[in-house]
Chains A and B, each alone.
Chain A
Amino acid sequence: MLAKLISYALSGVDGFKVEIEVDLNAGLPSYEIVGLGDTAVKESKERVRSAIKNSLFAFPLKKITINLAPADSKKEGSYFDLAIAVAILAASEQIEDRSYKDYVMIGELSLDGTLRHIKGVMPLLISALQAGYKKFIIPSANAEEASYVEGCEIYALDNLKSVVELLRDEQNYKPLETKRFVNNSAFNKYNVDFSEVKGQFVAKRAIEIAVAGGHNIIMIGPPGAGKTMMAKCVPTIMPDMSFEEAIEVTKIHSIAGVLDSSKGIVTRRPFRTPHHTATMPSLIGGGSNAKPGEVSLAHNGVLFLDEMPEYQRKTLETLRQPLEDGYVTVSRAKQSLEYPARFMLVASMNPCPCGNFGSKTQQCKCTANEIHKYVSKLSGPLIDRIDLQIEVDNISYEELRGGGEAESSAEIKKRVEKARAIQRERYKGSNIFVNAYMTNAQVKKYCALDKTCELLLKNAFEKLNLSARASTRILKVARTIADLEDSENIRPQHITEAIQYRSLDRKYWE
């Protein structure tokens, strides 16, 4: 007898429908899975057999053929265990009711019939929901994550036995209650705050501008100056994530298996710090199972590259696509996947390999050649995508201890949110929402300069030997500074301030 069931599998951040067909035939007992499954799928045979037996059902002694349709697309993971088990039970007429056809079943089985936690439940549910399916059965370990998906009936169950009971009599079980998404600062506690950062006025101001306009930023300074500390503070002044943003992030984190299953949804903006030995697949995504990389895990949040010149050049160059497009394409032999990757890049570097170049207290021991090599490790096109380049002060002991109370993250955040609101209003109807993503045409439209400003910019280029590439970058940053001041037009002081944040252009090192 034949039984058909619906399950879902992952491809990138989206799920796709997999039909599980089980056919029982007379003949020598055998058990075959077809349909391009990977090893985890093939091995489900044994899990399913034991789970059925240990849940006190009978495993049919017949020739069992299982087909995963569509037969030509690769299927990975242990998502199908539950669906296969139920389909076998249905085909062997241990479940009489036809109700199982209404459900989409996702879950891994353990040998005793318990349902185990799986990765990527949220993207699977969302895709299935969009395809019109309304009833789902998932492992109870994934309940938190699933409870944020609205508009469907989700049953989170513990084991195969209760699944079968549910199918026999739905009345005894209640679907998950949908949780309302609440996001406010009280809910998102960070363990760092800008009020703990003493001094560093230039750097703090630059970070405020960077966050307000979605600009990328690089901090240059000696070791121990507080670059990492400030980078960690960046998420604390970013606007709270909207529900859509949170879902996007949760989907990616769910697939990568880094989601906190007790929380179920990511509410804090991600802050990812890949180590400088990171390989290309770990940063960009890929590997044998095409996992999302650090750039995607940092989606809607911050990617912090500490000691940027220490990264392999090749690895850094791959950042260009996500920085430009906001997504990465991971190509593998049989398919290419797209993962979202719109993050704010925060980078840090020492001014030279020993870190003391330009220091007032320490002698730099690097040769001119070493310094030149170090700085030129960052290619022009990459630096080009970093709008703000600032120097971090090497603060002294007195400054560290004394000084008045610094501004808290909450206060800065208020200003950032105001500036973001202005930008949202301006870019209504276009596909961008912050100044950093302006196209050249938009720069022309929104960063129009009057005569004084134009003359000023021209003079600045001549006098300060700025690189020609800097021009649009300066304009974009000036636009953000104007937004922070709630000024409709860019004024001279906005341009002059923006020029202050172009340290790498100034060629101190030559």
Chain B
Amino acid sequence: MRYSDDDKALIMLSADATLKKRISAFESVEHPSQLYDDLSLADEMIAKMQQHGVVAITRLNELYPQSLLDIYDPPIVLYCRGNLDLLSSRAIAVVGTRKATRYGKDVTKLFVEAFVAKDICVVSGMARGIDSAAHKVALDCEGKTIAVVATGLDQVYPAENLSLAQEIISNGLMISEYPIGTTVHAYRFPERNRIVSGLAESVLIPEAGLNSGSMITAECALEQGKELFVVPGSIFAQQSQGTNLKIKELQGTIVTDPSDIVGDLQAKDEQEQIQLSIEQHMILDMLDSEVHFTELLEKSKMGVSALSALLSEMEIYGLIRKISGNYYVKCPMI
């Protein structure tokens, strides 16, 4: 990509000062190139970007997404790594708690699969928990996904998401408003959140605690006039207190089904019919909620080893699932 002097000035500006100062500096002049006399630093930065396969989309670039320009404080430059076409596609943000429960992950899977089916791009922050789950599901279904990160694009945070990041770069898009070399800092995460909501037409929160960063994303979404969707959770679950609060304050639209957001989906092909044995039927009947192994043992009157074997088999068929603490649940039939 070729960069004009204005672009270069903006790239230099993006490495300067605070967010507020950047924006006021940008707005103070007619042509950004007036901001700097010497643009050689920008050339250095561009060389570094090229090493990492990063492209800078400035606000003057026609690829810069319109939805972001509409927010109050759009980033000066978007550093991108991956498939730039995704910037123009219809997008929904999926964010949530870093300590996702099984419930949160199930919800995420359900909704993201529906979005992918409708060819909607899934935007998230590549944090642990719901964010990572959203990206993973989208990639698994070969859908579109954008990760907005709060570090330079040469780094991966959290480090355990290294392989996920690589997959996003090759099959999706990773973006950041921070230049190469920017390290992790707490204040950048809330700043980043406004881009997550800004890129998307609406924001879905499957699960979030009271102090979750996704509550900030929710605020951003409301400020930016985006629609906020929240999924209700158990009133006892810490990881659903944030979402439940939004519902109580009437700030988010309650959704319990993907069709609430994207309209009716085409009915999926009928699931492959598996011939169930009597025991398997019996187990499925017992699993109306999370049930412990001991309870199954008592009710089924089977031996320990026979029951273990049966449960494993049913897991392999995808009928049930073992969760932590020797509990079992029925798989949601999606």
Which of the segments A116-124, A268-276, A493-501 contacts the partner chain? A493-501
**Given A351-B324, A367-B99: A496 and B316 interface contact (C-beta under 8 Å):** yes
Nearest-CB residue, chain B, relative to A456: B316
Which of the segments B48-56, B81-89, B301-309 contacts the partner chain? B301-309
Which of the segments B110-118, B215-223, B290-298 contacts the partner chain? B290-298
> For residue B311, which residues in chain A have a CB less than 8 angstroms away from its CB?
496, 500
Which of the segments A162-170, A311-319, A457-465 contacts the partner chain? A457-465
Q: Does chain A have a CB within 8 A of B313?
A: yes
Q: Does chain B have a CB within 8 A of A393?
A: yes
Distance in angstroms from A77 CB to nearest chain B CB is 52
- Cβ contact within 8 Å between B129 and A202: no
- Cβ contact within 8 Å between B312 and A497: yes
Of the candidates B128, B313, B326, the one whose C-beta lies within 8 Å of that of A492 is B313
The number of residues on chain A lying at the interface, defined by a beta carbon within 8 Å of a beta carbon of chain B, is: 36
For residues 223 through 267 of chain A, which have their beta carbon under 8 Å from a beta carbon of chain B? Answer: none
- Map CB proximity to A onto B233-253 as digits: 1 under 8 Å, 0 otherwise: 000001000000000000000
In Å, the complex CA distance between A351 and B99 comes to 14
> For residue A456, which residues in chain B have a CB less than 8 angstroms away from its CB?
313, 316
Distance in angstroms from A362 CB to nearest chain B CB is 11
Q: Does chain A have a CB within 8 A of B315?
A: yes
- Map CB proximity to B onto A390-406 as digits: 1 under 8 Å, 0 otherwise: 01011000010000000
> For residue B129, which residues in chain A have a CB less than 8 angstroms away from its CB?
368
Distance in angstroms from A385 CB to nearest chain B CB is 23
Nearest-CB residue, chain A, relative to B318: A463
Nearest-CB residue, chain A, relative to B321: A464
Identify which of A205, A364, A369, A496 gathers the most chain B CB atoms within 10 Å of its CB. A496
> For residue A506, which residues in chain B have a CB less than 8 angstroms away from its CB?
322
Q: Does chain B have a CB within 8 A of A357?
A: yes
- Cβ contact within 8 Å between A496 and B312: yes
> For residue A492, which residues in chain B have a CB less than 8 angstroms away from its CB?
309, 313
Nearest-CB residue, chain A, relative to B105: A510
- Map CB proximity to B onto A314-334 as digits: 1 under 8 Å, 0 otherwise: 000000000000000000000
- Cβ contact within 8 Å between B312 and A393: no
Nearest-CB residue, chain B, relative to A395: B294
Identify which of B160, B318, B326 gathers the most chain A CB atoms within 10 Å of its CB. B326
> For residue A39, which residues in chain B have a CB less than 8 angstroms away from its CB?
none
Q: Total A-B residue pairs with C-beta atoms closer than 8 Å?
A: 87
For residues 298 through 351 of chain A, which have their beta carbon under 8 Å from a beta carbon of chain B? Answer: 351
**Given A201-B293, A202-B304: A391 and B324 interface contact (C-beta under 8 Å):** yes
Q: Does chain B have a CB within 8 A of A363?
A: yes
Q: Does chain A have a CB within 8 A of B323?
A: yes
Q: Does chain A have a CB within 8 A of B263?
A: no
In Å, the complex CA distance between A359 and B238 comes to 13
Of the candidates B98, B160, B293, B315, the one whose C-beta lies within 8 Å of that of A464 is B315
> For residue A367, which residues in chain B have a CB less than 8 angstroms away from its CB?
98-99
Identify which of A204, A221, A393 gathers the most chain B CB atoms within 10 Å of its CB. A393
Distance in angstroms from B327 CB to nearest chain A CB is 8
In Å, the complex CA distance between A393 and B238 comes to 22
> For residue A368, which residues in chain B have a CB less than 8 angstroms away from its CB?
98-99, 128-129
- Cβ contact within 8 Å between B325 and A358: yes
In Å, the complex CA distance between A460 and B312 comes to 9
- Cβ contact within 8 Å between A497 and B305: yes
- Cβ contact within 8 Å between A391 and B326: yes
Of the candidates A201, A360, A363, A369, the one whose C-beta lies within 8 Å of that of B294 is A201
Identify which of B290, B323, B324 gathers the most chain A CB atoms within 10 Å of its CB. B324
Distance in angstroms from A401 CB to nearest chain B CB is 15
> For residue A369, which residues in chain B have a CB less than 8 angstroms away from its CB?
128, 158
- Cβ contact within 8 Å between B325 and A464: no
> For residue B310, which residues in chain A have a CB less than 8 angstroms away from its CB?
493, 496
For residues 185 through 217 of chain A, which have their beta carbon under 8 Å from a beta carbon of chain B? Answer: 199, 201-202, 204-205
Q: Which residues of A come within 8 Å of B, CB atoms?
A: 199, 201-202, 204-205, 221, 351, 357-360, 363-364, 367-369, 372, 391, 393-394, 399, 456, 459-460, 463-464, 481, 492-494, 496-497, 499-500, 506, 508
Nearest first, the 7 closest Cβ-Cβ pairs linking A and B are A358-B324, A496-B312, A493-B309, A497-B309, A496-B309, A508-B324, A500-B308
A368-B98, A463-B317 known, 9 other contacts, Cβ within 8 Å: A358-B325, A360-B325, A391-B326, A460-B316, A493-B305, A493-B310, A496-B310, A496-B316, A506-B322
Q: Which residues of B come within 8 Å of A, CB atoms?
A: 98-99, 128-129, 158, 160, 238, 290, 292-294, 297, 304-306, 308-313, 315-318, 322-327
